[in-house]
Amino acid sequence: MRMNLRYKCLRVTLECVEPGPLPEFKGFSVRGMLLSRLREANPEAIERYLYGGPDGTPFPSGVTLTPPLDRSEFAREGDRLHFHLHLFEDAAEADAELVLPLAERRLRLGAARFRLARVEDVGSGETVFDGERYRFVPPRRLSPLEPEGDLIVVSTLTPTYLVHEGRARVPRFHMIVRNAARRLTMLRRRFGEEGLTREEARELIRWSEDARTVSMSYRLRTLRRRSSRIGRQEFRAVVGTFVYELPPDPPARAGEVLSFAAAYGVGKMNTAGLGRIALTCHPPGG
């Protein structure tokens, strides 16, 4: 039986009202902006949907994001920036708790200030917030991405920081599957649902370990962020395209795990927009 993960993707549009410099990579600033507004307006939502969880257990966040992908470093009055919020399970039903606080006051991104101009549901194309009014759009169920064919192409949409066995790694297929399978199971448990069984997870990992890396084309991108807990941090993340030859006979849950990886992101700091990937399966001879 499929897990039928509830999912909603929102396209958020901000309009600049006070010009100022912007960071080149904007994911950390967008996350900081969202958390700042929630701490002021709805701090309970942070524990319910983002960080923490029942009894303080560090479950995965029910909210990840795709940051603005442009690398502009200055915003002028009237300029617009777009980012995407990816909402899962209970968070997908409660987007008003996350969206409406952004509409209540000006939002700081870098040294510029913005207003919330528009929010759209990507799946349906319907408007959720038009600058004045909010409208609830039901979430959809995340469809599986069945690994049909003999090749899968993984392209990073944002820098990816994937840790395996305690070290940052250039991603291999089994690392992506392990990461997504664990995140999916823990996210489901956060919201009181069943995830993968141990045998299902083991079967997936065994299958993914037999995948062969056909080609890799990547570079390392240096990112900088400032954390109130650890101060300034600089690290390198992977940007590139990876082609893997899939083993035969994918397990029953493979399509759900691959679909989740593309929707949620892989590796660390998905709440800041790292680890966004696109997956494309190619049929034999394709």
**C-alpha span between 89 and 18 (Å, rounded):** 36
CB within 8 Å of 207: residues ≥ 6 apart: 177, 247, 249, 250, 251, 254
**Residue 248 one-letter amino acid:** P
What are the structure tokens assigned to 57, written together? 């257990």
Q: Is 241 helix (H, G, I), strand (E, B) or coil?
A: strand
Tokens 């799946």 — which residue? 123
β 231-245/80-88 pair status: unpaired
pLDDT of residue 284: 59
Residues in the chain, pLDDT under 70 = 1-2, 52-57, 227-231, 284-286
Fold for the domain defined by 6-141: Alpha-Beta Plaits (3.30.70)
The alpha helices in the chain, defined as continuous H runs, are: 27-41, 43-45, 90-93, 95-103, 173-190, 198-209, 254-264
Give CA separation, 207 vs 37, 99, 212, 253, in Å.
Answer: 43, 40, 11, 11
Per-domain residue ranges for the chain? 6-141, 151-282
Give CA separation, 64 vs 43, 265, 274, in Å.
Answer: 17, 8, 9
What are the structure tokens assigned to 34, written together? 């969202």
CATH class of 151-282: alpha beta
pLDDT of residue 198: 93
pLDDT of residue 180: 95
Q: Which of 257, 256, 243 is nearest to 211 (CA)?
A: 243
What are the structure tokens assigned to 155, written together? 């392209």
Q: Which of 265, 215, 266 is nearest to 242 (CA)?
A: 215
**C-alpha span between 112 and 199 (Å, rounded):** 50
pLDDT of residue 230: 63
209, 174 Cβ separation under 8 angstroms: yes
b/e per residue 136-164 (b: at least 16 CB within 10 A): ebebbebebbebeebbbebebbbbbbbeb
Q: Which of 277, 265, 259 is nearest to 65 (CA)?
A: 265
pLDDT of residue 189: 86
CB within 8 Å of 129: residues ≥ 6 apart: 99, 100, 103, 116, 118, 119, 135
Query: Matching CATH topology for 6-141 and 151-282?
Result: yes
pLDDT of residue 215: 95
**C-alpha span between 56 and 118 (Å, rounded):** 34
pLDDT of residue 56: 60
Q: How far apart are the first and last CA of the chain?
A: 31
